[in-house]
Structure formats: structure tokens, C-alpha cells
Chains A and B, each alone.
Chain A
Amino acid sequence: MMKNFSFIILFTLISVFTVAQNKNREADLKAVFIYNFTRYIEWDSSDVSENFIIAVIGSSPVTASLNEIAKSYAANNKRIIVKVFDRPEDIGNCQVLFIPQKLPWSLSSILDRADKGILTVSEQEGYASRGTTFNFVPVNGKLKFEANLKSIASAGLKVSSQLLKLAIIIQ
């Protein structure tokens, strides 16, 4: 099963961990986790778009880390494009939408714009129960993540049990 994933990931990981050496370790780790999420999630196969778009709304140090990863590596055999949406109104076509903490907009205004087929990842306590699919939370000083099964189902995504096994499940 795992062998179906790209075989260049070896180099990916080397660079991923090189990135993690940076000062902003938490941002790097989150970027790596987001990238790793894509390996365990299946998007609608009818999507024939050329690129794999990871978007960030507002400003976040994670954007820089994602750009580092996107430089050399692919997701779902597609080139990764990192996009930044300045406002909720700008949210358009993308596969992953990262919602950083401390945004001036309400969560619902963002989620309303996020269409079906978008993996929404937040980093604010309680956001998962409020509708994002994945949400980073610190547990005992370690980075963990919550997964909202309902949001995943309504987004039309298939998440591997390997990933869910590691997640804190929100019903």
C-alpha cells in the first residue's frame, strides 16, 4: 500500500527535516504534517486539475515552510502550488486550506467559502468541533492533531485509517 506513494519521498523527507532545523520549528513541523496528511487522504479522482494547490488564508510562518516543501516535491503526483488568500472572499480552487490562528475573520465566514473537496486544517483549540477537518493541538508539549469525521465526510474526502489511528477523533 505504502509503496504506491511516490518514491522520491526519501529526498523529500531529508529536505523536510532540513527545513525543520529552522528557527521556526513549529511552523516547519506543521507544514510537514500538512504535507504528510496529503499522503493519507484521497481526493475526488474526477478532479483533473494540473496542480495540487495548498492554500493559506491570511499571513502565517507556515506559508514559508510550505513553499520550501513545494519547491521540490509533489503531492498526489501533482506539482504543489502554495497560494495565499488575503480575504475569505478570495478563497477559490484549492485542495488544502490552512487556517492560521488569530485571524480577523470568523471561522464560519471562511468555512462557508471552502467548497466540497477541500481539506481544511486549523490550529486553534476547538476549531475541529466547529467544522474544520483537521486541527493541530499541543498535547504534553507535543504536536498532535484532531480529526472531525463529520467534516471529513461532508467534504467528500477519504482518510486512511493509518492517519485516523494517530488523530484525536472529534465526532
Chain B
Amino acid sequence: MQVVVSVLVLGIFFTIFIISDTRSYKQRKVEDTITLAQVIGSNTVSALQFLDEEAARNILMELHKVNPDIFQAGILDKDGNVFVHYSKPGSDSPDVFTLLKNKNSLFRENHLYVKSDILNGNELLGKIFLEADLAELRQLNKSKFESAALLLLLALGFSVFLAMIMQTYISRRLLSLVNTMKEVARTGDYSKQIADDGKDEISVLVQGFDQLMEKIKENLRRKDEFIGIASHELKTPLTSLKGYLELLKQIEDHSLSRKFSEKALNSVSKLEKLIRDLLDVSKIQGGQLELNPIEFDMGNLVDESIASVQLFSNTHIIIREDDLKNTMIVADRQRIDQVLVNLLTNAIKYSPGEKKVIVRSKVAKDELVIQIRDYGTGVSSEEQHLIFDRFYRTRNTSVHISGFGLGLYICRDIITRHGGRIWVQAEEKGSTFSFTLPLHKLAAKQQTLLNLSNEQNFSSR
């Protein structure tokens, strides 16, 4: 667009330049030719006075010899009769006398016609007429148009070059904006701000984007705040409800009532778990999730977690396929238990109709890897990085699973805080969820404890 405009402007500029130049050239040419006519006229004064046409004709012929651009020349005497007329052999010019009847000069088909009085003092002796060919003007115009075209091409090249530089400048900034947008869409990290110190429309756009991010962040913060408050408020009556139900269960001897209170207690436990998840998420968002690292045997924890999940499942059998003994790690035992239970529960939930879930663990270099393999519906490759996001529910509609979609999000946060990684990979049937925990050498353990508690302080700020 810029290029088109600049070429257009330059084109107009050049055209105006050439037109005005041609005009001034013509003006000059008219003046020159009139001067020439006057000189020739004064040379023919004596010939006119002595009625010597031959002398006048000789003068005109010599004029043509000296100046071949003069195609036609003629003199009228003071009564308007043709005194002498000369025209270039072979030229078919129109009669110069009739052409210039009422004018002093005229341009016609690249020929200039001028008329001038022949004066001797103040005495009018006759009129001289000249026709000049403007081949020179044509030549001049041609070369001017050529150089204008050349300049135009140069200008075009230059403006294309400039436009490319501008384009790179603009698209670099736009790409940075787009990349940030993509990243925000992928990570959900709305605290991203783009710095752009330009003063054009793009920086307005970037500012708009930054403001939008700010607004979204604020709204999310309010939502999280609300979730935090709400879940906290819900938890209090729930805890007392649970206590009374447990009491009721103990003191009830009637079997039906006892069964009902057991069912009620189950529901309350589920509700409690949901509310706890919400509360955890709220803590994670607010940076208030605290870790209480201690040193413990990971093998024992795996066994405990399997046992507690197995307790509630009579459809699946959880098999442990390793012998992890005396593997001491430093971590928040309760949180790691939460992760294991969550992953195991998921493995059972997402593999209805199957029989087994396999737990493997191994030590690789300086980290511990725990893998939980199910034979269920699996996770599609598009979903593999999405399932760890907040409130993400699988698109697979063949199974309906209840829940908020918070479990894996919390797991990821806990593992990441411990300095580990969590991921999922698709298997031929089902999938494997894996996470790692760093294995610290005994000397470094004290340091790790320190670091972890520092991290908490930092994140709770």
C-alpha cells in the first residue's frame, strides 16, 4: 500500500515536472524563434525597401541551411501580399500565413509557428513567418521520460526495501504478540505482559492486550478468592456433619439405620474430598500451598496408598511390580500420598470393566520414577498436555466420570513444587502416568529441607 502510494505520488510529481519543464521549454523556444524571426526580419529590411524578392529568398534559404529545424519561412509585405515564401523541399506543412492570421505563435503537431513584425525604426515594413520543427523537444521529452521512469524504478525499489524493513519491524512485534497469546492460551498464565515502546497502532494493540490480560488476571484472582472462601465456608459445616454422622453410626444398632448413616457418611466423604480439592486449588492459585517435607521411606508410602485405594475398589486389583525397599526421600508425605491416591483412583475410574492397574517404580540416576499403568480408555495425544490443566475434563464421552477436573492439576503442582516432573504417555491399550521425585544424597538432605521451606515462604508471599 505504502509502495503504491509513494509510486503514485512520485509519478504525479514527475509528470508535473515534465509538463512544466516542457511548458517552459516551449516558452523559451517561442521566444528564441521570435528573436530569430526578428533578426531575419531586420536582415530583409533593405530587400523589402528595394522590392528585391530574390535577395529575401536567399536570406530565407540560408536560414534553412544554418538552422535545418526551420521548415517554412515567409514574408508578407506591409499590404499583406506574399513578398517571398520558402518551404523545405518535401515538407507538406500547412500554409503558415493562414495559420497565424490572428495569432503570434502556435503549436501544432510538434511544429511551432511564429510571426513577427519587420520594423525599420518604428516603420512597419512587413511580417515574417517561421515554422520550426520541435524534434529537439521530442528528443528532450523522450530522454526526460526515460530518466523519470528510471528514477521511478529506483524509488520503487527503495520504497519496497523500506517497506520490507518496516514490515519486518511490524511483523516482529505482531509475531511476539501472537506468540504470547498462544503461550497464554496454552499455559493459562495470564500474568504475561508484553513490552512495546513503540508509538503506533501496534503498541496500542499491545497495550490493549496487556490491559485485557490484567483484567482477566484480576477476574481470575477474584474467582479464586471466591472459591477459596466458598470451599472454606462449606468445609466447616461439613466437618461437623461428618462428626455427627460418625457418632450416629457408632450408636445406632438398628441395621437399616446404620446402613443409611454409612451411605450418608460415604457421600459426605466424597463431598469433603471435592471441597478439599477446591481448597487446594485455591491455595495453589494464591501461592499458599504449604509443603511439610520430612524424610520417609517411599516404598512404604506406595504400599499404604495402594492399600487405601484398594479398600474402596472391588472391581480392580492394583499390582505392584517392583521391590522398592529403603528408598528414603525428602518430601511432604501427605501430599505425595495425595498424588498417588489421585493417580490410582483415576486409573480405576478411567478403566471401567478392566481388572488391573500396575504400579512400577525405579531409581534412575538421582531421581525416583513412579509409573501407574492402566488399561482403560487412554489419553489422546492432543489431550496429553491439557489434562493437567485446571477444570479440564476429558472429551471422551464414552465414559461419564464425575469430578471437577482438578485432581491432575493439583498433582502436577505438588510434584513440580517438589522439583519433579509429571507426564502421561499413551500405551497400546490405556496409558501410563509417571512422575519423578529427586533423590537427594544424605548430605544434601538438610539443604533440601531448607530449600523447600524457603520456597514455601516465597510462594506464600
Contacts and interface: CB of A to CB of B under 8 A. Distances in A.
B368 to A, nearest CB: 121
B122 interface: yes
A166 B50 contact: yes
A3 B120 CA distance: 6
B78 interface: yes
Contacts of B51: 29, 142-143
A9 B50 contact: no
A23 interface: no
B125 interface: yes
Nearest to B47: A166
Contacts of A165: 46, 55
A105 interface: no
Interface in B399-420: none
A40 interface: yes
Task: Name the interface size band of chain B.
Answer: 10 to 19
A7 B55 contact: no
A40 B123 contact: no
Contacts of A39: 49
Interface string A4-32: 01111111110001000000000001000
B42 A2 contact: yes
A142 B51 CA distance: 9
Nearest to A35: B49
Contacts of B119: 2
B45 A13 contact: no
Interface string B67-102: 000000000001100000000000000000000000
A163 interface: yes
Contacts of B122: 7-10
A7 B120 CA distance: 8
A3 B123 CA distance: 10
B31 interface: no
B427 interface: no
A143 B122 CA distance: 26
B46 A5 contact: no
B183 interface: no
A13 B46 contact: no
B197 to A, nearest CB: 77
Interface residues of A, number: 26
Interface SS of chain A: helix
Contacts, number: 50
A36 B49 contact: yes
A12 B123 contact: yes
Contact of A10 (B46, B49, B79, B123): B123
Given A33-B50, A36-B50, A166-B50, A10 B45 contact: no
Contact of A2 (B50, B78, B120): B120
A142 B55 CA distance: 13
A171 interface: no
B8 interface: no
Contact of B46 (A17, A40, A142, A144): A40
Contact of A166 (B42, B55, B121): B55
Contacts of A40: 46
Nearest to B42: A2
Contacts of A160: 46
Interface in B120-140: 120-125
Interface string A154-168: 000000101101100
Contacts of A163: 46, 50
A21 to B, nearest CB: 11
A166 B46 CA distance: 8
Contacts of B32: none
A131 to B, nearest CB: 22
Interface in B26-83: 42, 45-47, 49-52, 55, 78-79
A143 to B, nearest CB: 7
Query: Which 9 A-B pairs rank lowest in CB-CB distance, beginning with the nearest?
Result: A10-B123, A9-B123, A162-B46, A7-B121, A7-B122, A166-B52, A36-B49, A166-B50, A10-B122
11 contacts: A2-B45, A5-B120, A5-B121, A6-B121, A8-B122, A10-B122, A10-B124, A39-B49, A40-B46, A144-B52, A166-B46
